[in-house]
Amino acid sequence: MRHKTAATAATLLLLTGCGGGGSAGSGDDGGGLGPDASLWQQRTAASDRYTGFCAAPRSGNDPYNDNLPYPDRQGSIEDEKLWLKTYMHEVYLWNDEIPDAKASRYTAAAYGSVPAALDAYLYALTTPKVTASGKLKDAYSFTYPTDQWNALSTMAVGIGYGMQVTLLANTPPRSAIVVYTDADTPAFYQSIRRGAEVLTVDGVDLINDNTRAGVDTIYAGLYPATAGESHTFTLRDRDGVIRNVTLVSASLTSVPVERVQILDTSAGRVGYLVFKEHFATAEGQLAAALERLRDAGITDLVLDMRYNGGGYLDIASELAFMIAGQARSNGRVFEQLRYNATNPLARSPDSSVPFHATSQGFDPSLASGATLPELGLSRVFVLAGPGTCSASESLINGLRGIGVQAVLIGGTTCGKPYGFYAQDNCGLSYFAIELSGVNDQGFGDYADGFAPDCRVNDDYAHELGDPNEALLATALNWQQTGTCGTSSATRAAAAQRPASETPQLLRSPLHENAWRRSPR
């Protein structure tokens, strides 16, 4: 199953047990990085003739575009479908494989709303072909409300409780586990911690209920649409205590970098940090974290990206530079972007993404052009799994492309060597696969993910950063002995997961992307 809108994806995941993915490679919102402006204009010259004719025009001003009036004019859903079809033939990576979908079938009456109909039409225009393993080539293209996309990508702001839930088993009997909570959030203040199991949502049995009404209730509780919603959960905490908690959704700012720690081992000093998302605010936090680790004299780094779905590709490049240093990365390519044969961006000099040695101006807390700290490492341990996607995979691939050993501990990554630029029309942002990416050695064939060097199940019995947590313990064992090793923690982690299941993080497709900024 491909990712559709966030609502559709989560509901179908619970009903059918299918898992989608996000995407990797590119994105978004203006600001000086990305392709040449003239080529950018040529890119959508045909579809621009139909832009802004909307079935439901927005009124007022756009707070994410210098408060300028929205460009919408009165139109119809047919106008929006004409724009979409034209746009897909211009930029879609596989534009020679677009099916001949009958646009008239995709109506608001048939799909419940104009956005849902347009999302379905986007899916109908994606390639039906599969990879050698049988996986859809495009399991990733999707749509998302533009205002929510802008809030999340630029300010890391989203609606929720501050907890991330994963499905260990996504068909009845299900198992849903909280994998982390953010500090100073509703979930945190209700003492919800890693390892808590979600048993019911608003009285519906999450484990066994597979009715449409039940799944819709579960979805509505796990994914509140607005701030101020109140939902009740029955949880089983790590100590076995069962309790009911009521959570009120809020507008929350994500903290991408957490738990920066220094661990001393017999083989040297190790830095550890949890990196959750390549959002704009991560730029300053990463620079500060790696400066601290550099000053502490670490000789190895454990980068915990098991839940990092991606974000800005250029921030991944900055982090790769900070890990590898100038000597290894100077003059090398972090990621070379590839487009369809007719896309003008294929001629852009900025289709080659360098290793950024200075900050790129994403985060106001860090001056644009500031020199980034360097660790100068020849090896990095990456804690990874199926939630490690897109820009996170580009980071792994980019480092390997310049000879930095990226030792993967955990599970196979999600496999998204593709990407897109968000394209807004009438308040709906379209994320259609537009590009693929390869590293300095020309490698980018990881559609089925990167396999781990040490396969270890996630360990929900320990907090992230605990040296006894199975993935971190395995990384530290490798650092000291050069082997994966086994421990009571890894054996316990293996017992937690049903053998036939792959964990599925319940999160929006926007959390599984890599973006670049388009010219203003």
Burial (CB count within 10 angstroms: exposed 0-12, middle 13-18, buried 19+), residue 59: exposed
Is residue 213 domain-shared with residue 335, that is, in the same domain? no
Is residue 212 domain-shared with residue 292, that is, in the same domain? no
282-314 as b/e, with b when 16 or more CB fall inside 10 Å? bbbbbbebbeebbeeebebbbbbbbbbbbbbbb
CATH, residue 381: 3.90.226.10
Is residue 244 domain-shared with residue 372, that is, in the same domain? no
Is residue 166 domain-shared with residue 312, that is, in the same domain? no
How far is residue 128's CA from residue 409's CA, in Å, rounded to a whole number? 33
pLDDT, residue 515, reads 55
Could you tell me the end-to-end alpha-carbon distance of the chain, in angstroms, rounded to an integer?
A: 34
Helix axis angle, 6-16 to 212-222, nearest 10°: 130
Q: Over the chain (520 residues), what is each successive 10-residue block's mean pLDDT?
A: 39 33 34 66 95 97 91 98 98 97 97 97 96 84 88 72 92 94 96 98 97 93 93 97 98 91 98 94 96 98 96 94 97 95 87 94 93 98 95 97 98 89 93 93 93 96 97 98 80 58 72 58
508, part of any domain? no
pLDDT, residue 518, reads 62
How far is residue 493's CA from residue 466's CA, in Å, rounded to a whole number? 14
Is residue 191 domain-shared with residue 312, that is, in the same domain? no
317, part of any domain? yes
517, part of any domain? no
How far is residue 233's CA from residue 377's CA, in Å, rounded to a whole number? 45
pLDDT, residue 65, reads 86
- Choose the final residue of a domain: 253, 288, 315: 253
Contact 92, 124 (CB under 8 A): no
426, part of any domain? no
491-501 as b/e, with b when 16 or more CB fall inside 10 Å? ebbeebbeeeb
Beta bridge partners of 311: 278, 514
Q: Half-sphere exposure of 237 toward its Cβ, with a 13 Å CA cutoff?
A: 11
Both structure tokens of 141: 């293209």
Contact 398, 320 (CB under 8 A): yes
- Choose the final residue of a domain: 253, 287, 320: 253
Is residue 328 domain-shared with residue 464, that is, in the same domain? yes
Strands 268-275 vs 454-455: parallel, antiparallel or unpaired: unpaired
Both structure tokens of 330: 């100077």
* Domain range for 161: 157-253
Is residue 117 domain-shared with residue 165, that is, in the same domain? no
428, part of any domain? no
505, part of any domain? no
How far is residue 254's CA from residue 276's CA, in Å, rounded to a whole number? 9
Is residue 339 domain-shared with residue 359, that is, in the same domain? yes
Question: Is 271 in a helix, a strand, or coil?
Answer: strand
Is residue 249 domain-shared with residue 266, that is, in the same domain? no
How far is residue 239's CA from residue 195's CA, in Å, rounded to a whole number? 9
Both structure tokens of 266: 């017999």
Is residue 57 domain-shared with residue 150, that is, in the same domain? yes
Is residue 243 domain-shared with residue 181, that is, in the same domain? yes
Beta bridge partners of 177: 166, 197
Q: How many domains does the chain have?
A: 3
515, part of any domain? no
CATH, residue 189: 2.30.42.10
514, part of any domain? no
Radius of gyration of the chain (CA): 22
Is residue 359 domain-shared with residue 261, that is, in the same domain? yes
Q: Please state, as a whole number, how many other Cβ atoms lie within 10 Å of the Cβ of residue 349.
A: 8
Contact 244, 234 (CB under 8 A): yes
- Choose the final residue of a domain: 103, 136, 155: 155
Contact 62, 86 (CB under 8 A): no
Q: Which residue is it, tokens 């704009």?
A: 280
